[in-house]
Structure 1
Amino acid sequence: MSNAFGKGHKLHLIDGSAFIFRAYHALPPLTRKSDGLPIGAVAGFCNMLWKYVQDSKGDMAPTHVAVIFDHSAKTFRSDLYADYKANRPPPPEDLVPQFPLTREATKAFNIACIELENFEADDIIATLACQAREAGGEAVIISSDKDLMQLVGDGVTMLDPIKNKEIGPEEVEEKFGVGPDRVVDIQALAGDSVDNVPGAPGIGIKTAALLINEYGDLETLLARADEIKQPKRRQTLIDFADQIRVSKQLVQLDCETPLDFTLETLELRDPEPETLLGFLTEMEFRTLTNRVAEKFEVEAPSVPDTPAAPQGEAAAGPDWPEIDRDGYETVATEDALDSWIARIAEAGAVAIDTETTGLNEMTADLVGISLCVEAGSACYIPVGHVSGGGDLFGSGAKSDGQLDMDLVLGKLKPLLEDAAILKIGQNIKYDWKILARLGIRMTPIEDTMLLSYALSAGDGGHGMDALSERVLGHTTMPIKDLIGSGKSQIGFEQVEIAKATPYAAEDAEVTWRLWQMLRPQLSPNRVTTAYETLERPMVPVLADMEMAGIKVDPEHLARMSNVFAQKMAGLEDEIHELAGQKFNVGSPKQLGEILFDKMGLAGGKQGKTGAYSTSADVLEDLAAEGHDLPARVLDWRGMSKLKSTYTDALQTHVNADTGRVHTSYSITGAQTGRLASTDPNLQNIPIRTEEGRRIREAFIATPGHRLVALDYSQIELRILAHVADIPALKQAFRDGIDIHAMTASQMFGVPIEGMDPMIRRQAKAINFGVIYGISGFGLSRNLRIPRAEAQAFIDTYFERFPEIRAYMDKTVEDAKRDGFVRTIFGRRIMTPGINTKGPAAGGARRAAINAPIQGAAADIIRRAMIRMPAAIRDLPAKMLLQVHDELVFEVEDKAVDDLVDAARGVMEGAAEPAVKLSVPLVVDAGTGESWAAAH
């Protein structure tokens, strides 16, 4: 053991929990081939630790090091404030079994592994950092967590492991507007929605900084709150003073955490090769095992074959040269451009990537294009870089060393539209839209993101950075290295061309290499048909829909916002009358006091601070017992969400040039193949409420046109009847019988004619619940009936339809054997965690059962969408939206009937000829001047 920790010693404190979640979300999950154990986060964690060990040299080299973990969700802060971190969702089910493995990994690297019951990792880090400082040494906290920035000061710094950037007092002040010694005061005022720290309502970081800088510290501010001139701010600080003080206790780190070890025990030790390689081999990490063995100059142990990328680690690729960012060419002359065009024509394929002024494809301008035709050979063609700030359409002047954009596009257009030359992209829909707005429609295309998705849907993200790490073993250049972040962030157009070239050209080369690695895996994994018929053709279809957009009436939205505001005010008056006094309806603390202290309602859960939980679950339970006030509060909250999320927010998404809203669809957004809509999300607008329908009234047709909505009827139940081969359900669908009434009749022995609506409702809840693996508890909550009664319903259901149980059991059996399930159209959906034990197993089992059904429904509507452009080409109509099982069109008045006939024909026949369903697909159609009227 070394001498006592003191001057000249440097302690590195690694935020282990942050490392784990970063590893989990950065890379697609990996399952161990031998037993299906989820180990993707462990793989990423080990790679980060190994990189840390390799990089910790020079001035930053530690003498002592430890990895600190959170022990459990419950800490002393939970006793202090019952709702602390209450809003945080539980960790993903496939991550839970990996937590102990990351501890084993840390020990295998011969690094101290620390966690303490009832204390957060941040408190342990705070205590060790303070001890190191007091002993005369230094502490470096390896984390970017803002909560740890209160510790920065003499002898304590932070290192952001993502940006590899040191965080000192200046960086803290840039973020919070105050020095590290006042960070806690800022956080107490601003609160934290992630950790459910309440703070002061309506006061954010900037306002908090202004107040603290003016009054010096939090207690002085609260003591002199009555001096503040702004009335609302003054009243907030007076009314919520106690809440703010509790918030400070929640965010203040504990530097006196009781530890049963000393700093000396954290002395840096080299890994023991045998121990580390043993762990890596057990985890089946071939690539890292080889790297570690090479570093220690020992023979690498044998590792079993891992699954095909991108499920596993980096696969062994061709004998390619290392990626060399310094070797890329900047194309600045017409001769150089002509040379590249000739090379591409000869190669017959090119990887392409665009650089733009922003992320919105409908408003971003082109800055440059990168191309690659083989490993080690890529270029960047700048066309929109500026100097002196601004942009080409503002004050900036075009940088030297660039070709004219029109010249470049004119020469590239024939090549990019040449059907004999393949264009390869990563998330190529983005580049397709950028170029389409400039008059170029790329064809044919390949997408490495979609190749990865076809191979391993359900195994996490399919972004370039993740795939590059996973498939190629290469870390791409972070964009923030070029454009910065926060207030100092610049647009890519302002990046120097010499710096932009290696970044942009690398993207093209990585894309080309990914294509070379992933494309050959389609056939052996039996997903070629799924990729060619369900993934690849979606790109131009969705791009055209997104560019078309849908017209929105902003005045209608503004009126609705006003209506909602008035209704909220009316509800507030009603709530105040029911409560017998006025109070802040948006304050959980005040609401809890009204419900449980003044009104004496049962079910109040009170923490040490005296605050009650007033979550939606609590209010729904009270409302179900017949209490009006919590029911009205739920109405008020619902109205508030509609206003903020839809009627207010949608107005900001109206494109100034088109007057339309242009959502963006993610093809890989869900493991089952369902599309995800973002910026704005148009798939979650409520349809069953009056207010939700009013929102859809704002989506309108242009004059002389109508909107047409076509929706599959009960498509998932029809697919279940087919795949589970249920004679009674299949016959009912063929005969056009009310499926829910038929199910109720089968289960409860009652005639369909004159059936009690409540019995039908129960059958409907079971029909749809079974598809998602609903439990007796879940059904009892949905129907508000005793759990035993709900479970009896489910048992009866399986007795009447034994084919469903047989389907479920076989699906789980197949998933456990293969590690994936397939839809009837060949889509492969991975089932990570299906072979694990404990709580995670139930969720994995339910997901495996549901995936082939929901996935097949997604496949059917994709097949319809892909065929639709050809079917309506001669009609004055456009397909605008896809929302779950519904397609929305805009069509000239005179062609409405023709559009309905054509679109319905495509949708109802979408499964064929690939699959001959044993039940008919039925599509309901509606039309109107608005989306609401079309339903």
Structure 2
Amino acid sequence: MSDTEKPAAKQHLYLVDGSAYIFRAYHRLPPLTNPEGTPVGAVYGYTTMLWKLADDLDKAEGPTHLAVILDKSSHSFRNDLYADYKAHRPDPPEDLVPQFPLIRDATRAFSLACIEEEGLEADDLIASYAVAATRRGWDVTIVSSDKDLMQLIGRCSDENLEEGVSEGGCIDMLDTMKSARIGPEEVEEKFGVPPHLLGDVLALMGDSVDNIPGIYGIGPKTASKLIAENGSLTAALDAAPDMKKSKLKERLIEGREMAELSRVLVTLKEDCDLPQPLEDFKLDSIPNEPLAAFLQTHGFTSLLRRLDSGSGSPDRPNQLNPTKAQNKGAKGDAKGNRQPLPDMPSVDRSTYECVQSIERLEHWIERAFAARIVAVDTETSALDAMSADLVGISLALGPNDACYIPLAHGGSDLLSDRPEQVARETALALLKPLLESEAVLKVGQNAKYDINILARHGITLGPLDDTMIISFDLDAGRSLDGIGGGHGMDELSERHLSHKTMTYKEICGTGKKAIPFGEVPLDRATEYAAEDADVTLRLYRHLKPRLAVEGGTKIYERVDRPLVSVVAEMERHGIKVDRKQLARLSEEFATETARLESEIHETAGQEFTVGSPKQLGEILFDKLGYKGGRKGKSGQYSTDQTILEKLSNEGAPIAQKVLEWRQLTKLKTTYTDALQAAINSDTGRVHTSYSLVGAQTGRLSSTDPNLQNIPIRTEIGRQIREAFVPEDGNVLLAADYSQIELRLAAHMANVDTLKEAFSSGEDIHSRTANEMFGEVTRDTRAQAKTINFAILYGISRWGLAGRLGVEADEAQAMIDTYFARFPGIQRYIVHTLERVRERGYSETLFGRKTWFPRISSKNPNERQGSERAAVNAPIQGTSADIIKRAMVRMMPALEEAGLGHVRMLLQVHDELVFELPEGDVEAASQIIERVMATAAEPAVKLDVPLGIEIGTGMSWGAAH
């Protein structure tokens, strides 16, 4: 370390047992009421205690992080283990119950984190946060005098430390009633055993308050003596049969079951899903607001005078940690909405203006230029951006400061009156300088759609921010406030603004009575359209600040934000398809499905609707008598792919034929028929729509039509790809990342064997086969290939057994061998799951977060599904980030090389598809390969090279 470098300050987390504070406060003060007559005695006592704690800690060793932990409810998982747990506790006093929510308000009024979780006790949350913090190298002080929490005292984590942490932190306790620190020595002095054996003592002696049974007749002294002499609860119970005959011997033998149950009940749960990241507990200044408002509301005038006079903690800069005053970070909701909602009035649709004259339009444009930021939304005649007509545009400059500019309203009847509105060409000419101005930020929700609509009218919308993308980069996978985890505007508005927006169906109706938006009366159209822009700007003001606070800025600014316009351009380019080839394939598929259907009927001995799961189930399990049929809640048999594959492997020919029939039917419906219908009549090309928020890990997904699910390695898939062709004089070029997820796994898990293999250009599946089986044959390589990919998806022994066609024990042996040969992969999996359970989310190398709210679910299917996804998410997400970075850089690099006429058309999985003149293939290939190979840099320097495979041809299929 150089003379100028200083070691980073030790982080110190204080966890306040808020539940204990509440009852101490209640019994400490006489009854009080606030101006509304609500009891607030406990609230006042709690507030003064929290204030005093702030002062005392400020004068002593100020923590860097602090949180108050509370009990959410009286029921926890322990009640499921033991129905009488805490059964004898009386209900809280009647006048205390209405004070519980106010005490939470008091905590937040101090701008402190307030943590509680349904089904978990405060002690378990404290234990989980304490252990997680020590693994980061933080010291932890628990503010409490609870004997159960004393089990944690003296714990110093030196194992399972987070990456980059060389030394773990330690845990102690602060008893504010006695103003005393409690360490291991104090625990041993009181209970006769060190903290790590305290749980054994508590299990023997029981607890009448929590109704933990223990063993009847064994008190604290006897329990301590037994544990100290024997070393553990199990040892003490095991020793009982050899003791001299006594009452104690009988009680130990008879009470063993209760003692062992009690040990489980007193054991603190240290692996809870953390409701809020540790970083959110960072302490900064305690601002006068909202504390002053809280004190005023409840009539705490003496505390308010104390605040105004400058005595006591909240008015002085950063009382809990003066050195952190400049790093103010917002606290807030444990479910992700961590920034306080900006002060905005409620949505008032009556304030919106319908702009029907050039003068008023110029007025709004002038104001937008002055504001430097404007929310923009388009109203159209259809959802397809490549065929929809532009009906109107809405703008918003602030809350309730929005307008709607109708451009093509009027009934379809030629004789009907058209409302007064600015001519579309005139309005767009006036709006163009604003919408293209580099000096004005445009804000949109799913702005890609608006970009494409306006581009068809000669307007290049930008620069822009997209609230849908911001939301995704903050909360991908996270279900918030019981509303869900989607990123549509209606959902975001309800979740973050508590505002229910008008719906399209309310305005246009449904079914036969539905009308086009252009026929909606202007007053209603204005309310609906202007609200969209208003809500979008409100969401932006709420969500954008969270990026910096929650670490989402890098992934948003460097990857996803610049990608929006790139993907929009790809959608506009589209790709040509050969209608005759598709029609021929549709006819072939129809013939083949008819043949298969006839064979299925012959095998079944009767005709039935093959596409009906109900009829198929009855044929398979009732008539043909195959085993393994199971009925769902509907009363019909399941006939999903897993069931059919199992039957096929067991020798049921009808199952294999049904699988083939289903695949051909799906391909015909989804591709060969649908692609013909999707050809745009104006361009003669197919324009898929890419979603930037459709896949939780960050991968792009496509719809209308979906080009992601065309079979990759089958002959049928190749035939469908043959129908994607270039324009005359051009060729298609496909550039594919080779085994990118395995390469990233080698880097992220730091597996030297795999890194060496990739660096030397060795076949990775052959290397794996040699490592696992000692030889490379066609079969061992195929097995190794399956294992290589399956392991990265967290596959179970049964899942692998199904893929390889072996017994579960044999599959487990292969998994064990794989981990033995590549221990880094197992370490990566364990470490990844630990991190996700601790933080609630996984993270890519570029900082993209994917949340897994069910990672600790009691439902094993939900939990295991989340674990499998969590293992793969950092790898698959990093792969997605890399190809996105390549896409953003691609066209500037090609333009710089004089190849700006090369078109990037498709992104499918790890592949990019381009259209270009045949004479430019060599030059373009060099640029494309370089951009893709270096896409991770300079943000991430990989230990393995990224392999790129490039092919060209007169069709997409031929380019492979």
What's the TM-score, normalizing by structure 1? 0.65
Q: Using the alignment, how far apart are the partners of 1:33 and 1:396 within structure 2?
A: 69
Q: Using the alignment, how far apart are the partners of 1:609 and 1:779 within structure 2?
A: 30
Residues 36, 466 of structure 1: alpha-carbon distance in 2 compared, 3 angstrom cutoff: farther
2:382 maps to amino acid: G
Match for residue 488 of structure 1? 513
- Give the 5 Å matches for 1:777-796: 777-796=798-817
Out of 360, 366, 370, the residue aligned to residue 390 of structure 2 is 366
Q: Using the alignment, how far apart are the partners of 2:669 and 2:719 within structure 1?
A: 15
Give per-residue Cα distances to partners, 1:371-410, cap 9 Å, x unaligned: 11122311111111113x35xxxx4756222011111111
The percent of aligned pairs where both chains have the same amino acid is: 52
Structure showing greater relative contact order (alpha-carbon pairs closer than 8 Å, 6 or more residues apart): 1
Q: Using the alignment, how far apart are the partners of 1:548 and 1:681 within structure 2?
A: 16
1:496 maps to amino acid: P
Q: Using the alignment, how far apart are the partners of 1:585 and 1:377 within structure 2?
A: 58
Say whether 1:385 aligns with 2:409: yes
CA contact (8 A) 1:385 1:398 kept: no
Say whether 1:871 aligns with 2:893: yes
2:788 maps to amino acid: N
Residues 336, 740 of structure 1: alpha-carbon distance in 2 compared, 3 angstrom cutoff: same
2:836 maps to amino acid: A
Out of 925, 930, 935, the residue aligned to residue 950 of structure 2 is 925
| Higher alpha-carbon deviation: 309-318 or 515-524 | 309-318
Q: Give the deviation of 1:821 after TM superposition.
A: 2.2
Match for residue 322 of structure 1? 346
Question: SS where residue 405 of structure 2 aligns?
Answer: strand
Out of 449, 453, 462, the residue aligned to residue 430 of structure 1 is 449
Residues 428, 796 of structure 1: alpha-carbon distance in 2 compared, 3 angstrom cutoff: same
Match for residue 27 of structure 2? none
CA contact (8 A) 1:315 1:472 kept: no
CA contact (8 A) 2:330 2:549 kept: no
CA contact (8 A) 1:309 1:471 kept: no
Give per-residue Cα distances to partners, 1:709-746, cap 9 Å, x unaligned: 11101101111111111100100000111111111211
- Give the 5 Å matches for 1:53-202: none
Residues 573, 373 of structure 1: alpha-carbon distance in 2 compared, 3 angstrom cutoff: closer
Out of 732, 738, 741, the residue aligned to residue 763 of structure 2 is 738
Q: Using the alignment, how far apart are the partners of 1:617 and 1:368 within structure 2?
A: 49
Residues 779, 415 of structure 1: alpha-carbon distance in 2 compared, 3 angstrom cutoff: same
CA contact (8 A) 1:33 1:306 kept: no
How big is the alpha-carbon RMSD for the aligned residues of Structure 1 and Structure 2? Answer: 3.2
CA contact (8 A) 1:666 1:675 kept: yes
2:822 maps to amino acid: F
Q: Give the deviation of 1:893 after TM superposition.
A: 1.6
Match for residue 721 of structure 1? 746
Match for residue 354 of structure 1? 378
Q: Give the deviation of 1:322 after TM superposition.
A: 2.2
Question: SS where residue 905 of structure 2 aligns?
Answer: strand
Question: SS where residue 438 of structure 1 aligns?
Answer: coil
Out of 426, 431, 451, the residue aligned to residue 407 of structure 1 is 426
Q: Using the alignment, how far apart are the partners of 2:643 and 2:803 within structure 1?
A: 15
Question: SS where residue 825 of structure 1 aligns?
Answer: coil
Residues 308, 767 of structure 1: alpha-carbon distance in 2 compared, 3 angstrom cutoff: farther
Question: SS where residue 899 of structure 1 aligns?
Answer: helix
Give per-residue Cα distances to partners, 1:550-588, cap 9 Å, x unaligned: 111122111111111111223234445555666654455
Say whether 1:341 aligns with 2:365: yes
- Give the 5 Å matches for 1:535-546: 535-546=560-571
Q: Using the alignment, how far apart are the partners of 1:402 and 1:594 within structure 2?
A: 64
Out of 616, 625, 633, the residue aligned to residue 650 of structure 2 is 625
Say whether 1:445 aligns with 2:470: no
Out of 842, 845, 851, the residue aligned to residue 867 of structure 2 is 845
Q: Give the deviation of 1:630 after TM superposition.
A: 2.7
Say whether 1:855 aligns with 2:877: yes
Say whether 1:648 aligns with 2:670: no
Give per-residue Cα distances to partners, 1:329-354, cap 9 Å, x unaligned: 11111111111111111111111111
Structure 1 unaligned blocks of 5 or more:
1-31, 38-96, 102-281, 285-289
Match for residue 934 of structure 1? 959
Match for residue 904 of structure 1? 929
Q: Using the alignment, how far apart are the partners of 2:539 and 2:520 within structure 1?
A: 26
Residues 608, 726 of structure 1: alpha-carbon distance in 2 compared, 3 angstrom cutoff: closer
Q: Using the alignment, how far apart are the partners of 1:606 and 1:507 within structure 2?
A: 46
Match for residue 501 of structure 1? 526
Say whether 1:804 aligns with 2:825: yes
Residues 512, 763 of structure 1: alpha-carbon distance in 2 compared, 3 angstrom cutoff: same
Residues 592, 310 of structure 1: alpha-carbon distance in 2 compared, 3 angstrom cutoff: closer
Q: Using the alignment, how far apart are the partners of 1:822 and 1:447 within structure 2?
A: 22
Task: Count matched residues.
Answer: 644
Residues 573, 374 of structure 1: alpha-carbon distance in 2 compared, 3 angstrom cutoff: closer
Give per-residue Cα distances to partners, 1:658-713, cap 9 Å, x unaligned: 11111101101112110110111111011221111111111111111111111101
Q: Using the alignment, how far apart are the partners of 1:607 and 1:529 within structure 2?
A: 46
Residues 99, 333 of structure 1: alpha-carbon distance in 2 compared, 3 angstrom cutoff: farther
Q: Give the deviation of 1:617 after TM superposition.
A: 3.1
Residues 310, 364 of structure 1: alpha-carbon distance in 2 compared, 3 angstrom cutoff: farther
1:724 maps to amino acid: A
1:857 maps to amino acid: S
Question: SS where residue 351 of structure 1 aligns?
Answer: strand
1:815 maps to amino acid: V
Give per-residue Cα distances to partners, 1:273-297, cap 9 Å, x unaligned: xxxxxxxxx999xxxxx9xxx9xx9
Question: SS where residue 950 of structure 2 aligns?
Answer: strand
Question: SS where residue 673 of structure 1 aligns?
Answer: coil
Q: Using the alignment, how far apart are the partners of 2:863 and 2:330 within structure 1?
A: 22
Residues 606, 510 of structure 1: alpha-carbon distance in 2 compared, 3 angstrom cutoff: closer
Q: Give the deviation of 1:590 after TM superposition.
A: 5.9
Match for residue 375 of structure 1? 399
Q: Using the alignment, how far apart are the partners of 2:418 and 2:340 within structure 1?
A: 41
1:872 maps to amino acid: L
Residues 578, 467 of structure 1: alpha-carbon distance in 2 compared, 3 angstrom cutoff: closer
Structure 2 unaligned blocks of 5 or more:
1-66, 73-116, 122-274, 278-289, 301-328, 479-484
Residues 382, 626 of structure 1: alpha-carbon distance in 2 compared, 3 angstrom cutoff: same
CA contact (8 A) 1:313 1:470 kept: no
CA contact (8 A) 1:314 1:471 kept: no
Question: SS where residue 691 of structure 1 aligns?
Answer: helix
Q: Using the alignment, how far apart are the partners of 1:915 and 1:851 within structure 2?
A: 17
Question: SS where residue 522 of structure 1 aligns?
Answer: helix
Question: SS where residue 536 of structure 1 aligns?
Answer: helix
Say whether 1:470 aligns with 2:500: no
1:411 maps to amino acid: L
CA contact (8 A) 2:792 2:872 kept: yes
Give per-residue Cα distances to partners, 1:739-783, cap 9 Å, x unaligned: 111112112233xxxx22111121111111111110001001111
Out of 803, 825, 828, the residue aligned to residue 846 of structure 2 is 825
Q: Give the deviation of 1:489 after TM superposition.
A: 1.0
Residues 369, 760 of structure 1: alpha-carbon distance in 2 compared, 3 angstrom cutoff: same
Q: Using the alignment, how far apart are the partners of 1:810 and 1:341 within structure 2?
A: 54
1:407 maps to amino acid: T
Q: Using the alignment, how far apart are the partners of 1:742 and 1:299 within structure 2?
A: 74
Q: Give the deviation of 1:627 after TM superposition.
A: 3.6
Q: Give the deviation of 1:613 after TM superposition.
A: 5.3
CA contact (8 A) 2:757 2:767 kept: yes
Give per-residue Cα distances to partners, 1:316-336, cap 9 Å, x unaligned: 433322221101111111111
Q: Using the alignment, how far apart are the partners of 2:119 and 2:576 within structure 1?
A: 48
Say whether 1:552 aligns with 2:587: no
Say whether 1:527 aligns with 2:552: yes
Residues 446, 586 of structure 1: alpha-carbon distance in 2 compared, 3 angstrom cutoff: closer
Q: Give the deviation of 1:817 after TM superposition.
A: 2.4
